[in-house]
Amino acid sequence: MTAGRWTPNIATLGRAKRTSVTDGRGSSGSPPPEGKPERSFWTLTARLVIWLRFPILLAWIAATVLATAHLPSAFDSESDQLGSLLPSSSTALEVESRAIKTFGTPLLSRTIVIAHQPGGFLAAGIEAASRFIATTDQQEGGDAIRAVPLVDAPGLLAARRTATTLVVYLYIDPSLSESESQDRAERFASDLKRATGADATEVTGALPATRAETTVTNTYIVWVELATVLLVVGILAFYFRSLGVPLLGMASVGIAYLCTDRVLGWVAQRFGMRSPSRCLPA
């Protein structure tokens, strides 16, 4: 030691440092932090995953192939229920369920067929429409459709003497899917057009409108998905300077999509559930 200056003992510091490393304590003698065992566990888990990376990839691919081959798709479990997104405790669903149990069909029609004749329907056409609707309404079984017609018959003081529009409220089995309900409504509209000779017969209502929106969305969402894929591939390829990384990412997304689709389909089939087409994976 020189005057006015303290010189540390290097040997003493070295022994203190070795002692701190050996016994796992700091200079204050405090125990190691509590998070150290947890970090060791996750470190071991990460090493195990890395060591088994190739078997894990092969297992995912095999599971995807088996699920695609043996499990139903979520698209097979679509529902025509507008309230499928509501909780089972909803009061509206409870009232509608009670109406279906009491009357066999919902009290509110969600599918409507409109027939229009600009020059007015002939009397024979109105009679033919009445017979056709009555015959359809009396059918039983899986193809049964309940139909309630409404015609804009003119009054005594009206300028015109013939009806120009016929509105038919359809009550279709609510257990059918959207596709089945739409097909039966389209067949009914086609037969009604032949019976009345109307110039135009269209299907409208809440369910057909929802299905039309879904069709439009599915038509254009392909371009959105394609733009998204190209954007992701471009960003990853530019950042990593390689095409292998984005291709691997797209393959992972494809595997995840197929697995999700089949798992949702299996759950719907297992528990008797139906998914609205708006909720299906895109």
DSSP of 55-115: HHHHHHHHHHHHHHHHS--GGGGB---GGGGS-TT-HHHHHHHHHHHHHSS-SS-SEEEEE
Alpha carbons 152 and 167: distance in angstroms, whole number: 8
Alpha carbons 121 and 165: distance in angstroms, whole number: 8
Q: What's residue 86's pLDDT?
A: 52
Alpha carbons 165 and 115: distance in angstroms, whole number: 6
Q: State yes or no: pLDDT of 84 exceeds 60.
A: no
The pLDDT of 159-178, averaged and rounded, is: 78
CB 67 within 8 A of CB 258: yes
Give the least confident one: 24-33, 45-54, 94-103.
24-33
Q: Which helix (H) or strand (E) holds 167?
A: strand 165-172
Beta-bridge partners for 204: 112
Q: State yes or no: pLDDT of 249 exceeds 80.
A: yes
| Length of the chain as a residue count | 282
Domain boundaries, the chain: 74-83+210-279, 111-204
Residue with the larger pLDDT of the pair 85 and 233: 233
CB 64 within 8 A of CB 256: no
Give the least confident one: 15-24, 51-60, 196-205.
15-24
Q: State yes or no: pLDDT of 38 exceeds 80.
A: no
Using the CB atoms, write b or e for 67-89: b if 16+ within 10 Å. Answer: beeebbbbeebbbbbeebeeeee
Q: State yes or no: pLDDT of 4 exceeds 60.
A: no
Alpha carbons 135 and 128: distance in angstroms, whole number: 11
Q: State yes or no: pLDDT of 113 exceeds 90.
A: yes
Phi, psi of 242 (to 5 degrees): -155, 145
Residue with the larger pLDDT of the pair 29 and 278: 278
Q: State yes or no: pLDDT of 274 exceeds 70.
A: no
Q: What is the DSSP code string of 29-66?
A: -PPPPTHHHHHHHHHHHHHHHHHTHHHHHHHHHHHHHH
Residue 266 banded pLDDT, cuts 50, 70, 90? confident
Residue 17 banded pLDDT, cuts 50, 70, 90? very low
Give the least confident one: 83-92, 185-194, 213-222.
83-92
CB 172 within 8 A of CB 184: yes
Alpha carbons 170 and 145: distance in angstroms, whole number: 7
CB 232 within 8 A of CB 249: yes
Estimate to the nearest angstrom the gap between the alpha carbon of 75 and the chain centroid.
9
Residue 231 banded pLDDT, cuts 50, 70, 90? very high
3-state class of 157 per DSSP?
coil
Q: What's residue 1's pLDDT?
A: 47
Its pTM stands at 0.56
The pLDDT of 58-68, averaged and rounded, is: 89
Specify the CATH number for 111-204; select among 3.30.70.260, 2.60.40.10, 1.10.1060.10, 1.20.120.430: 3.30.70.260
Q: State yes or no: pLDDT of 262 exceeds 70.
A: yes
Alpha carbons 116 and 125: distance in angstroms, whole number: 12
Residue with the larger pLDDT of the pair 40 and 82: 40
